[in-house]
């Protein structure tokens, strides 16, 4: 295509343009931002002169007055007495804690007669799994490999043809800018850090493991309490005689997302549902014959030990299962796959006789754990006032009340009881890790963090460690000084911040100040917290659109330009501001770059072409970044004309590096932070900085060189990323590839600048437009902080040593983020550097300094206090497996940059085996070595770990592309706990069991083919994929109601949207799909899969409990393998 021709058509001479070379932005190469730019953030605090500054007014972001924040003391104390959970969790060290924790003090007034539960000998909180040898019916030997994920389905998505033509006005302003080619180094790509816990691998493939028949199985043994394990009896059921049961009426129904499901039997056939087919028999949980006939179900949480999170006196959900604690033997469930010959052995086919089969219903069920947590913990708010509480699971719908610790929506930990010594930590191998999501979106019924303005003196901080004022700081000497909870240093209270203490030592203004009473809040930052001590300009968004042949042909450019016209009305705004402060700019590119002047005073946009892309610069300042409302006419005109302008292009080559450089230079010139939205279709083969070659080579899979596939092929982009971070330039990348584009390299800048990668393989506007536009909308509109730095401070004894996520670090403590949005999480690992203390616990403070969408500089503070323990049993009782898995995913996905995937898989297995073996050795009751005993809080570790091991990144099937693996790797590395949870173990909902009269979803079933009924319809989602699977025997009525056809055979599996039918089943299912999509950060395209259809193999890829086509073990086989690993460690 003739660029010059376009230039002649569109260019106009413009004032200031000729002088462009006088601007100094051409060759500005700025080194990384020195940390000193954040002087007060990292360094000494200024402004401690005793000025009579006004007392910091509160600026709540919502309408509620700040004083109403924490509920009244009286109400709180009542609530806590009812549950007493804090007392249990904290142990008997309450007095000391009260000194340390003014927060919990108010909620725990003196004289707590029922605060301490009676401790009584109780059975181990282990899970003893039964020796059930029923024949398994897993038919999961799917020999077919799944086809590529990217399929083209979808309804016609209409997009308006842009008919306006670009008016040929004005003379050309095209100038050839020639500068010498940059010397592009091509040294070896940087490898990531190796996994933290290398362990010599034992290389028994899980899929070939056969359990040796050895030890004797035990059932129903009455065990003494293990040493060091003492637990409140109330955890196991109703209160003991004399214990108060008040305050929690047993009749109170849980208000969680799901209705209570006593005993979790298969739901009765739904009333009013046509064509309902009962689920397969395997959906029920069999009552073990040795169980007492009290409605006790083997899979019930609590049946294998204590509840996941202690809830003494929490009577309601347990009314049907009395007296666990008095019948310890009834809880002993043991799995000893090695010990007992299967009673069904003779009934098995000959090839199965060599193996003992385990009843899948007898091994820990993710669904059971999820449902138990929902019914146990979803009905009451989770109040954060007590140290070290394990929150409800991410799958439970619950309300959080901030009472001095951050909501689990902001911080979630793998362990809420940290071991006191590093020796203990090494022994148990449980990673001490937190997943932090600083800008997480809260539900509508939870107030966003309050904004505190301390005026020109800025936030109050510890003089020594610079920790921010928080509920853990202890005011002393009548309030004149405070002692830091993190470093113990004593700091003078500034006169304007002084306040008298009440008789308990608490400041009188405790409830008026979020920073004294809440776990999460924000400070307005002063100019000292700004780069170069200058208040930042509002950020900018630059849309950079590939206009090469592929992008035009797929319909992308038309679709995007049409959408941008309306999308620009939804740029993020500050609070109730009438319009967004964010300015926008536009660039198109193929082998050359086209900049557009869209200044409001122009009648038509002007294009400027830069064809010498070797040393990128921006040919215009004035008119490139504009206010949308002021320049709307010119912008709309541009968006109308771009598809026309390039409609007949034959240019197939693109550049990529210069595109990012151009955006970066534009932000530099405008002296603002911002985000580039790059819409890109091909491998950048054109001669330019950052040019790439096709180096895809699937033969490297399972070799020592496999890591190369995840590494960038040049360090050009690493260097560029560094510069982007220093300048607050975040890059979001929307990829539309028809072949290999090297996501590992193209995504690097995105990954290191806190951006997001989206990938639409074989994109066609009609089929994939809905997904793309939904993603784009959400991406443009979401809450985002620019030019951010995150620092995690800890109390003495532990420190943050490792960080995982989409960011850049130039030193060991500051997580630098060109931008951070509401979806991004950062996983932090802590290590001991001293002993911890049970009385003091451990405190974490995460401070995120960022620029808001209006250019306001702010600090968001999250605080969390954890318990510390000297008994390993306490640690294992207060763990969170979902968070542990999140950490393992990130550890593994970083590990593949420098290790063969086999090594990474073995490292995970070994660390997990050590965790479970340590429990077995130190916490579980003495028993046969042949028994697999799992800690209650970690009983899903094997099944979830197996899902991670089987994922395409670590164990790809033949059809998975190198780009898909790199893409998944980059996505997962910034996922929060809820996302990793569903991504690795998908949600599978029996649609035919939905209750059309309720807002609830049907109870999910386990991800295994044997759980699917031929007469059923199922919905499966994992945050990225959404399927509806239809069994071939589904009743015609139901098919008619949902698909508007008469029979199974007539269902069109190419549809990507359900027909809009006016009946309760269609409405309910469509509303379920909408709700699920709304819960996830990315839009999921719907795929219809019919039983035995060729697409079914793709669906089966997500049935994680089954053996996978790529050789991944079934859950049962993997559990046996883990058992063997544990036994080897114990022997
Ligand atoms: Zn300090």
Pairing state between β 520-524 and 490-492:
unpaired
Those residues whose C-beta lies under 8 Å from the C-beta of residue 880, and which sit 6 or more positions away, are 390, 391, 393, 412, 413, 414, 415, 416, 937, 977
Residue 490 C-alpha to ligand 1 middle, in angstroms?
8
pLDDT at 958: 82
Residue 356's pLDDT band (cuts 50, 70, 90): low
pLDDT at 575: 85
Extract the tokens encoding 564.
């941008």
Residue 500 C-alpha to ligand 1 middle, in angstroms?
22
pLDDT tens digits for range 300-309: 332 333 333 3
pLDDT more than 70, % of the chain: 68
Residue 905 C-alpha to ligand 1 middle, in angstroms?
40
pLDDT at 569: 95
3 state DSSP class of 606: strand
Residue 472 C-alpha to ligand 1 middle, in angstroms?
11
**List of E strands, 854-932:** 857-869
Those residues whose C-beta lies under 8 Å from the C-beta of residue 650, and which sit 6 or more positions away, are 1, 549
pLDDT tens digits for range 450-499: 999 999 899 999 999 999 999 999 999 999 999 999 999 999 999 999 99
- Cα distances from 749 to residues 730, 788, 972, in angstroms, run 8, 16, 16
- 983, with CB counted inside 10 A (0-12, 13-18, 19+), is buried
pLDDT surpassing 50 at residue 312: no
Q: How far apart are CA 1035 and CA 1013, in angstroms?
A: 12
pLDDT tens digits for range 968-981: 999 999 999 999 99
Q: What is the DSSP letter of 612?
A: -
Residue 1106 C-alpha to ligand 1 middle, in angstroms?
51
Q: At what angle do helices 962-972 and 743-752 cross, to 10 degrees?
A: 10
pLDDT at 318: 29
Question: Count of alpha carbons within 13 Å of 1110, Cβ hemisphere only?
Answer: 22
Residue 793 C-alpha to ligand 1 middle, in angstroms?
9
Structural contact between residues 1129 and 171, judged by C-beta atoms closer than 8 angstroms: no
pLDDT surpassing 80 at residue 277: no
pLDDT tens digits for range 715-738: 999 999 999 999 999 999 999 999
The mean pLDDT of 318-340, rounded to a whole number, is: 34
Residue 403 C-alpha to ligand 1 middle, in angstroms?
22
Residue 485 C-alpha to ligand 1 middle, in angstroms?
7
The mean pLDDT of 616-639, rounded to a whole number, is: 94
Residue 1105's pLDDT band (cuts 50, 70, 90): very high
pLDDT surpassing 50 at residue 191: no
pLDDT surpassing 60 at residue 317: no
pLDDT at 447: 92
Extract the tokens encoding 997.
């009269």
pLDDT at 1110: 84
Q: How far apart are CA 308 and CA 125, in angstroms?
A: 9
pLDDT at 382: 96
The mean pLDDT of 235-247, rounded to a whole number, is: 34
Structural contact between residues 508 and 501, judged by C-beta atoms closer than 8 angstroms: yes
Structural contact between residues 608 and 619, judged by C-beta atoms closer than 8 angstroms: yes
- As a whole number, the mean pLDDT across the chain is 76
Residue 576's pLDDT band (cuts 50, 70, 90): confident
Residue 95 C-alpha to ligand 1 middle, in angstroms?
23
pLDDT surpassing 70 at residue 586: yes
Residue 864's pLDDT band (cuts 50, 70, 90): very high
pLDDT at 323: 30
Q: 731 — phi, psi (to 5°)?
A: -120, 120
Residue 509 C-alpha to ligand 1 middle, in angstroms?
22
Residue 518 C-alpha to ligand 1 middle, in angstroms?
19
The mean pLDDT of 602-620, rounded to a whole number, is: 92
Residue 100 C-alpha to ligand 1 middle, in angstroms?
14
CA-closest candidate to residue 45, choices 398, 454, 462: 462
Q: 523 — phi, psi (to 5°)?
A: -110, 140
The mean pLDDT of 809-817, rounded to a whole number, is: 95
pLDDT surpassing 50 at residue 253: no
The mean pLDDT of 509-523, rounded to a whole number, is: 96
Residue 486 C-alpha to ligand 1 middle, in angstroms?
5
pLDDT tens digits for range 921-979: 999 887 777 789 999 999 999 999 999 999 999 999 888 999 999 999 999 999 999 99
Neighbours of 614 (CB within 10 A): 15
CA-closest candidate to residue 334, choices 945, 928, 944: 928
SS3 for 691-703 is CCCCCCCHHHCCC
The side-by-side arrangement of strands in the sheet containing 606-610 is 606-610, 593-597, 583-589, 540-546, 674-680, 729-735, 757-759
Extract the tokens encoding 1062.
């006016």
pLDDT at 931: 86
- Cα distances from 1014 to residues 903, 1027, 1042, 1048, 1087, in angstroms, run 40, 16, 17, 11, 18
Q: How far apart are CA 44 and CA 1129, in angstroms?
A: 50
- Cα distances from 1129 to residues 24, 195, 338, 816, in angstroms, run 65, 20, 17, 40
pLDDT surpassing 80 at residue 543: yes
Q: For residue 914, give the H/E element and its range.
A: helix 901-922
pLDDT more than 90, % of the chain: 64
Range of lowest pLDDT (231-240, 546-555, 885-894, 1107-1116) = 231-240
pLDDT surpassing 60 at residue 663: yes
pLDDT surpassing 70 at residue 641: yes
3 state DSSP class of 919: helix
């Amino acid at each position: 295509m003739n660029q010059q021709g376009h230039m002649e058509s569109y260019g106009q001479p413009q004032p200031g343009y000729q002088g462009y070379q006088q601007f100094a932005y051409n060759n500005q190469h700025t080194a990384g931002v020195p940390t000193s730019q954040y002087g007060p953030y990292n360094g000494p605090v200024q402004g401690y002169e005793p000025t009579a500054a006004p007392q910091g007014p509160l600026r709540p972001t919502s309408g509620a007055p700040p004083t109403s924040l924490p509920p009244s003391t009286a109400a709180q104390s009542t609530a806590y007495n009812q549950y007493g959970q804090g007392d249990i969790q904290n142990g008997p060290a309450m007095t000391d804690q009260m000194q340390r924790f003014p927060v919990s003090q108010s909620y725990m007034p003196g004289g707590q007669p029922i605060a301490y539960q009676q401790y009584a000998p109780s059975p181990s909180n282990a899970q003893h799994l039964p020796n059930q040898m029923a024949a398994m019916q897993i038919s999961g030997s799917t020999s077919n490999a799944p086809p590529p994920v990217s399929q083209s389905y979808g309804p016609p998505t209409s997009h308006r043809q842009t008919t306006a033509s670009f008016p040929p006005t004005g003379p050309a302003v095209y100038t050839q800018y020639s500068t010498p080619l940059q010397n592009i180094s091509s040294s070896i790509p940087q490898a990531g850090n190796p996994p933290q816990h290398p362990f010599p691998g034992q290389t028994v493939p899980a899929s070939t493991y056969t359990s040796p028949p050895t030890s004797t199985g035990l059932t129903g043994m009455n065990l003494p309490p293990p040493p060091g394990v003492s637990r409140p009896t109330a955890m196991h059921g109703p209160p003991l005689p004399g214990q108060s049961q008040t305050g929690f009426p047993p009749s109170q129904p849980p208000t969680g997302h799901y209705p209570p499901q006593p005993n979790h039997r298969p739901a009765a056939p739904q009333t009013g549902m046509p064509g309902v087919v009962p689920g397969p028999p395997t959906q029920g949980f069999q009552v073990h014959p040795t169980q007492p006939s009290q409605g006790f179900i083997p899979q019930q949480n609590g049946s294998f030990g204590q509840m996941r999170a202690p809830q003494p006196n929490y009577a309601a959900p347990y009314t049907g299962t009395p007296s666990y604690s008095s019948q310890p033997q009834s809880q002993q469930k043991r799995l000893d796959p090695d010990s007992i010959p299967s009673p069904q052995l003779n009934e098995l086919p000959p090839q199965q006789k060599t193996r003992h089969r385990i009843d899948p219903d007898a091994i820990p069920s993710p669904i059971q754990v999820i449902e138990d947590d929902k019914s146990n913990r979803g009905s009451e708010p989770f109040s954060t006032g007590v140290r070290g509480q394990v929150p409800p699971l991410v799958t439970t719908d619950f309300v959080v009340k901030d009472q001095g610790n951050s909501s689990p929506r902001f911080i979630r930990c793998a362990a809420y009881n940290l071991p006191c010594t590093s020796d203990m930590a090494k022994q148990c191998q449980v990673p001490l890790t937190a997943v932090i999501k600083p800008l997480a979106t809260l539900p509508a019924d939870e107030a966003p963090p309050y904004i505190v303005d301390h005026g020109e003196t800025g936030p109050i901080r510890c003089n020594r460690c610079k920790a921010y004022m928080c509920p853990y700081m202890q005011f002393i000497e009548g309030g004149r000084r405070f002692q830091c909870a993190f470093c113990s240093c004593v700091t003078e209270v500034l006169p304007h911040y002084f306040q008298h203490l009440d008789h308990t030592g608490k400041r009188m203004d405790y409830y008026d100040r979020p920073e004294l009473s809440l776990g999460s809040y924000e400070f307005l930052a002063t100019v000292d917290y700004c780069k170069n001590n200058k208040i930042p300009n509002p950020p900018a968004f630059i849309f950079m659109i590939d206009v090469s042949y592929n992008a035009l042909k797929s319909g992308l450019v038309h679709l995007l330009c049409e959408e941008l016209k309306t999308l620009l009305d939804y740029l993020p705004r500050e609070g109730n501001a009438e319009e967004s402060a964010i300015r926008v700019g536009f660039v198109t590119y193929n082998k050359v770059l086209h900049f557009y002047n869209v200044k409001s005073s122009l009648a038509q946009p002007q294009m400027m072409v830069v064809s010498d892309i070797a040393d990128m610069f921006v040919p215009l300042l004035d008119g490139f970044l504009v206010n949308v409302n002021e320049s709307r006419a010119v912008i709309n005109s541009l968006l109308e004309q771009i598809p026309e302008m390039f409609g007949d292009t034959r240019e197939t080559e693109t550049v990529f590096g210069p595109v990012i450089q151009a955006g970066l230079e534009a932000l530099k010139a405008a002296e603002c932070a911002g985000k580039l939205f790059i819409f890109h279709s091909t491998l950048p083969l054109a001669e330019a900085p950052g040019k790439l070659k096709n180096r895809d080579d699937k033969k490297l899979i399972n070799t020592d060189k496999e890591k190369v596939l995840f590494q960038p092929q040049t360090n050009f982009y690493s260097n560029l990323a560094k510069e982007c971070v220093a300048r607050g330039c975040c890059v979001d990348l929307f990829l539309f590839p028809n072949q290999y584009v090297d996501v590992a390299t193209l995504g690097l800048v995105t990954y290191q600048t806190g951006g997001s990668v989206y990938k639409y393989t074989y994109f066609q506007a009609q089929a994939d437009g809905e997904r793309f536009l939904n993603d784009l909308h959400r991406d443009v509109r979401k809450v985002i902080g620019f030019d951010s730095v995150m620092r995690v401070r800890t109390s003495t004894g532990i420190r943050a040593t490792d960080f995982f996520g989409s960011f850049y670090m130039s030193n060991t403590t500051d997580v630098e983020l060109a931008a951070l949005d509401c979806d991004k999480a950062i996983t932090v690992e802590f290590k001991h550097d001293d002993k911890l203390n049970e009385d003091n616990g451990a405190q974490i403070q995460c401070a995120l300094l960022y620029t808001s969408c209006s250019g306001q500089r702010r600090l968001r503070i999250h605080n969390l206090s954890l318990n510390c323990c000297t008994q390993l049993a306490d640690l294992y009782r207060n763990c969170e497996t979902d968070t542990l898995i999140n950490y393992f995913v990130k550890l593994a996905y970083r590990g593949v940059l420098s290790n063969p995937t086999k090594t990474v898989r073995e490292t995970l297995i070994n660390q997990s085996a050590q965790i479970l073996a340590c429990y077995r050795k130190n916490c579980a009751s003495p028993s046969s070595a042949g028994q697999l005993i799992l800690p209650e809080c970690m009983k899903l570790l094997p099944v979830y770990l197996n899902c991670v091991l089987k994922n395409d990144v670590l164990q790809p099937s033949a059809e998975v592309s190198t780009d898909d693996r790199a893409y998944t790797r980059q996505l997962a590395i910034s996922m929060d706990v809820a996302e990793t949870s569903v991504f690795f173990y998908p949600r599978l909902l029996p649609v035919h069991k939905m209750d059309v009269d309720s807002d609830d979803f049907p109870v999910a079933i386990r991800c295994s083919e044997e759980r699917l009924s031929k007469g059923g319809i199922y919905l499966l989602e994992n945050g990225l994929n959404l399927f509806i699977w239809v069994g071939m025997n589904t009743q015609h009525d139901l098919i008619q109601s949902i698909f508007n056809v008469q029979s199974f055979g007539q269902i069109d599996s190419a549809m990507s949207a359900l027909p809009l039918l006016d009946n309760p089943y269609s409405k309910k299912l469509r509303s379920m799909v909408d709700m699920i999509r709304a819960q996830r950060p990315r839009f999921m395209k719907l795929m219809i899969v019919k039983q035995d259809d060729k697409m079914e193999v793709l669906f089966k890829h997500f049935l994680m409990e089954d053996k996978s086509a790529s050789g991944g073990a079934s859950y049962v086989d993997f559990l046996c393998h883990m058992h063997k690993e544990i036994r080897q460690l114990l022997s």
